[in-house]
């Protein structure tokens, strides 16, 4: 039997296709195994820790305890700074980071659950706010971002009303010891660049007063 060059080429092509198909099937099998393996470990929580954010009153927390749906739930931080969780009871949340609260909850749950794995995620940030009062268009409470300044706050509040005393603005700030500081802000100077240091970065619960 004479084997022509064209037949050899066709056989080589068919052989190559078979190899490609075999490789694709193997890859699909591995992917399926990996997916199944991942499914079997569902709930090994993605440890999305935040070591800087401090939980505050009114924040909403999603608490997941691995393989314990009856304990896992979304809870608000009450005005006393605490949350309630089945088995764990009353737990102080305000003033803690998510990581710290995870450890605290895990410790409390150890009496009921073997090696509890707890994940805490802040789903709604409601504690980080500032207030602006007085002669502005829209006085009230506003969400605080990491970069909010006094000028940003005035802009968010819609600017000044006609008779606002723009040189006599001040910020009331709560100190750690419970006392209150009064920080002056002269809008006229700041926008002229005379004393830009007055345009301070706001902190949670700051209150800007525009006389």
What topology is assigned to 60-124 in CATH?
wza like fold (3.30.1950)
pLDDT, tens digit, for every residue of 148-165?
999 999 999 999 999 999
Residue 204's pLDDT is what? Answer: 87
The domains of the chain are located at 1-42, 60-124, 129-210
178 CB-near residues (< 8 Å, 6+ apart): none
Q: How far apart are CA 47 and CA 160, in angstroms?
A: 45
Q: Which of 93, 89, 63 is nearest to 75 (CA)?
A: 63
* Phi, psi values for residue 99, rounded to 5°: -65, -45
Q: What is the DSSP letter of 17?
A: H
pLDDT, tens digit, for every residue of 14-42?
655 455 545 544 444 444 343 334 343 33
What is 129-210's CATH number? 3.10.560.10
Do 60-124 and 129-210 share a fold? Answer: no
Residue 99's pLDDT is what? Answer: 94
Its pTM stands at: 0.55
Residue 127's pLDDT is what? Answer: 85
Q: How far apart are CA 36 and CA 183, in angstroms?
A: 59
Residue 146's pLDDT is what? Answer: 75
């Amino acid at each position: 039997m004479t084997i022509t060059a064209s037949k050899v080429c066709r056989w080589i092509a068919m052989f190559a296709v078979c190899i490609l198909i075999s490789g694709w099937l193997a890859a699909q099998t591995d992917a399926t195994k990996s997916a199944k393996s991942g499914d079997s470990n569902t709930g090994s929580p993605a440890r999305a820790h935040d070591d800087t954010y401090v939980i505050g009153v009114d924040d909403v927390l999603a608490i997941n305890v691995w393989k314990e749906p009856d304990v896992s739930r979304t809870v608000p931080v009450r005005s006393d700074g605490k949350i309630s969780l089945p088995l764990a009871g009353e737990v102080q949340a305000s003033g803690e980071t998510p990581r710290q609260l995870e450890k605290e909850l895990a410790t409390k749950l150890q009496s009921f659950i073997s090696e509890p794995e707890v994940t805490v995620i802040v789903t709604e940030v409601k504690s980080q706010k500032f207030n602006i009062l007085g002669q502005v268009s829209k006085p009230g409470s506003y969400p605080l971002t990491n970069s909010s300044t006094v000028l940003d706050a005035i802009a968010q509040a819609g600017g000044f009303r006609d008779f606002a005393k723009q040189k006599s603005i001040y910020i009331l700030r709560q100190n750690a010891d419970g006392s209150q500081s009064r920080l002056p802000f002269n809008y006229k100077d700041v926008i002229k660049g005379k004393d830009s240091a007055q345009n301070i970065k706001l902190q949670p619960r700051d209150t800007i007063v525009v006389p």
